[in-house]
A and B are shown apart, each in its own frame.
Chain A
Amino acid sequence: MDSLSAASWLFSSIIAFVSAVIASMGIGGGAVLLLFLTVFAGTSLEQAQGMNLLFFLPTGATALLFHRKSGLLQVKKGASCGLWGLPGVFLGVWLASRLESAVLSKLFAVFLLYLGLKTLFAKGEKNPRKKADAFSGDAQ
């Protein structure tokens, strides 16, 4: 912390805040923090990924208290998914060190691209503000 000036501490706190808001809503993991660390703070990718993982533990746990309170958390389904995920993580880390994962990464990227576009242009989801306008239009 000593190496950080007050201004850069403030800036990194803002980044941390924004990153945590997004991560705690289950939107984008640590995309914001990772980008900041690797591009602006000059952190190596391994260190940035590790920092991001550790960062998420207390921030995500804080958000989880709220999610539980608001009744959104599905404890049973989440727990079974997490437990099954554990051997998956170990196998994934092991595979990553063995496989030439560049091709796999690109395949997965294409899948995410499809999922992202599908979500972005999903039908049946109307902008609530537009819907409100439509209602007021009907009323007239």
Chain B
Amino acid sequence: MGFLIGLLNGLFGAGGGIVAVAAFQKIGMTNKQSHATAVAVMIFLSAVSGFLYWYHGYVSVSDVLPYLPGGIAGGIFGGWLLPKIPDFWLKKIFSLFILYAAIRLFFK
């Protein structure tokens, strides 16, 4: 399953995390455990693909710096919010993002 998630990520650059959440739910994790664990998996895989992007010269670290203060504040807020948000809303928001990813991929 992990192999498939990595494959999707490398091939399409999107959707790996979505499949990870769905897969973790299938093997018995709760909704929130699936989301939290998917973040961990995606960090690991993003580090590898991010390195490849950087190595090929598509991006430099200084491009990202202006976005980091807001991003880290958002990370703190998201980390605080996940255990508190009702599952109902987590699922609804998640499904909208899946649909958005589908549309984006379709017109790629």
Contacts and interface: CB of A to CB of B under 8 A. Distances in A.
Contact of B61 (A17, A54, A56, A60): A54
B68 A85 contact: no
Nearest to A28: B97
Interface residues of B, number: 93
A115 B25 CA distance: 13
A90 B45 CA distance: 10
The B contact surface, by secondary structure, is helix
Interface SS of A by simple majority:
helix
Contact of B75 (A49, A62, A70, A110): A62
B106 A106 contact: yes
Contacts of A102: 108
Contacts of B15: 108, 112
Given A17-B74, A25-B78, A92-B7, A60 B1 contact: no
Contact of A105 (B35, B76, B100, B105): B105
B36 to A, nearest CB: 4
A13 B29 contact: no
A22 B11 CA distance: 23
Shortest beta-carbon contacts, A-B, top 5:
A92-B10, A88-B6, A66-B79, A20-B74, A84-B2
